[in-house]
Structure 1
Amino acid sequence: MSKSNQTYKELAVPHFTEVFDIIDGVMREFSVPYYMIGASAIALELLKDGIKPSRGTKDIDFAMMLSSMKEFEEISKALEQRGFRKAKAPWTYLYEKDDVVIDLLPFGEIQENDTEDFNKRNSDLHIIGFQEVLENPSRIPIEEKWVNIPPLPGMILLKLIAWSDRPEARENDLADILRIIEHYYDIEFDKIVAEHYDTLDTDDLDERTVASEVLGREARVYLNKSDRLKETIYTILKDNLTEVKLSSLVKHWARQSGEEVEYTFGLLKAFQRGLLKNEENSE
């Protein structure tokens, strides 16, 4: 069995093959660039390196680059003709089999060309960072197809923003970030040695701390593209790095990992340190 076939089956999302084939077909029909985001995208990236998903999900999230609300409505109609039905949120659909939840998040020119209509319909939709992170996506094989997903450093930014919007309902976003940190050192060891060797020059080497700082360094390129994205991320970090015992983010990581809260505070601090490294000289 090929590695891509294993990836396809081991993703363990109900009806994933069927749903993905429909989404792929519709997006190709309308010549719309699309990207898988969220937990399924992280699972695909990790499966590429032989790491199995830690949690199952019936949600599959996509981002699609659109130019107008008319284009969004045409795609919506095409999906309904293929077995999807709309949910309450305008970007959420349910697949007729097993009620698989699909989020299709629009971004791109639609935000500028139909600003008033877009904002009115999508007032609860937060897509800060999509344009910057998805500009250079990772490509992952799924059997005979390829899917674009956010690079892991960019995924952390998107997850932080999603969590900060509704922290009481999105603890899984924090779990996904921690999972990236836990595996990034092994996945990108060669890159760390070649490009970030200074993070290894310490007497008390901790792989997750190194991973956090390197992820921050790699994510900095996205912040340099958008002042709004930079301000949003810096605010989230500031709010959760003021005092250890007041940070809901690091307390959640501590509960999940079994580590002391001071340790998980250090992980977040390392990520911030990576983002800020040589900021004044970055382009």
Structure 2
Amino acid sequence: MNYKIESQKIEHPLLKPLLAELIPFFEERGISFFVIGATARDIILEISGQQSGRRTQDIDIAISIDKWEQFEEIANELINLENFSKDPQQQQRFLYLNKFQIDIVPFGNIMDEHDKIYWPPDQTFAMNVLGFEEAKNETVTITLDEEIQFEIVNLISIFLLKIVAWKDRHHRGNKDADDIAFIMQNYLNINDERAATEHYDDVYGIDNYTELKASASLIGIDLRELVNENPKLKEFLINELNKDIEKQEASILINQILETHKTLQYEDVLESIKIIKQQLSK
């Protein structure tokens, strides 16, 4: 898919000049990247006529590499450019014009058998990149101001990566749960035509219909299609969702969703998570 968007509609004042430098930098090295995280979310929502409640002023990108030496080379060459510097506190973080944060997340053959990466030299900093390969296969092409073309993950991939991220860092805050809930609330509105024409009974024919549960059903359908070729990833998602279903009122995920989205009701959220798991399990 290819979408066109104007930079003035995205509340990221440095996004266009940043991409204008990043794209040729990676092209010269034969490396492709795609945008993940909140920036991708905001762009997708803008294209769909929606708005995120929480705008971001940074950007996360993912790159596939075969060995850590490639990342070290990229890092050294990137900070040689006039407008880029390295954040001394974060292994993956760079700065554009000393204020715009860029997280470059590598994956590929550097992952271990558990889909984690461990940053050299001491390998004390680990990141879970489970699902990145699937996300890479479902990117959306964005043309910015008819000038700049780049790839971003689609919305179901963002949901997938948010579930993985939440598992890793929910003890540090509720930001990922907030994003998960936001997608659950808006997924049906964004995909209503496809839901009606391709999945009407599964989405609109659910018992005790609510919009959140209908949205969850479509999320489960799309999530299953996204991860079906990776049994390990599918099993991980089912197990994680099931843990929160079994915990019920004690579920950290559900409680964080309710904390960040005051209008949602516990029973509706619980049933929606059950529906995602049921669709995913088919």
TM-score where L is the length of structure 2:
0.87
Per-residue deviation, 1:105:
0.6
Cα offset for 1:166?
A: 0.9
In the TM superposition, what is the alpha-carbon distance from 1:120 to its structure 2 partner? 4.9
Answering whether residue 130 of structure 2 is matched by residue 131 of structure 1, we say no
Q: 1:203 to 1:70 in 2, by over 3 A?
A: closer
In the other structure, the counterpart of 1:95 is 96
Residue deviations 1:177-203, cap 9 Å, x none? Answer: 222222221221111112211121257
Q: Are the aligned partners of 2:132 and 2:161 in contact in 1 as well (CA < 8 Å)?
A: yes
Distance 1:178 1:274 in 2: 18
In the aligned structure 1, how far is the partner of 2:5 from the partner of 2:217? 33
Match of 1:186 in 2: 189
State the SS of the aligned residue for 1:32: coil
Question: Is the partner of 1:192 in helix, strand or coil?
Answer: helix
Q: How far apart, in 2, do the equivalents of 1:95 and 1:39 lie?
A: 17
Amino acid at match of 1:275: L
Maintained 8 Å contact 2:96/2:102: yes
Alpha-carbon shift at residue 269 of structure 1 (Å): 1.5
Question: Structure 1, residues 49-76: CA drift from partner, whole Å, max 9, x if none?
Answer: 1223321222210001122223212221
What is the CA–CA distance in structure 2 between the aligned matches of 1:230 and 1:203, rounded to whole Å?
A: 25
* Secondary structure in structure 2 of the residue aligned to 1:111: coil
Aligned length: 270
Percent identity of equivalent pairs: 25
Distance in 2 between residues matched to 1:77 and 1:136, nearest whole Å? 30
TM-score under structure 1 normalisation?
0.87
Runs of 4+ in 1 over 4 A off after TM superposition: none
The corresponding residue for 2:31 is 32
- Residue aligned with 1:148, SS: strand
Contact 2:92 2:103 survives alignment (8 Å): yes
**1:195-246 alpha-carbon deviations (Å, 9 max, x no partner):** 2111212574322211111111111123322233223212221221113211
What CA deviation, in whole Å up to 9, does each residue of 1:157-185 have, x standing for no partner?
11011111010224222212222222221
How well do the aligned residues superpose, as a CA RMSD in angstroms? 2.3
Given that 1:64 and 1:107 are in contact with CA atoms closer than 8 Å, whether structure 2 keeps it comes out as yes
Contact 1:34 1:148 (C-alpha < 8 Å) held by counterparts: yes
Structure 2: unaligned runs, 5 residues or longer = none
Partner secondary structure for residue 171 of structure 2: coil
Distance in 2 (CA, whole Å) between partners of 1:72 and 1:150 is 21
Select the structure that is richer in strand: 2
Aligned to 1:280: none
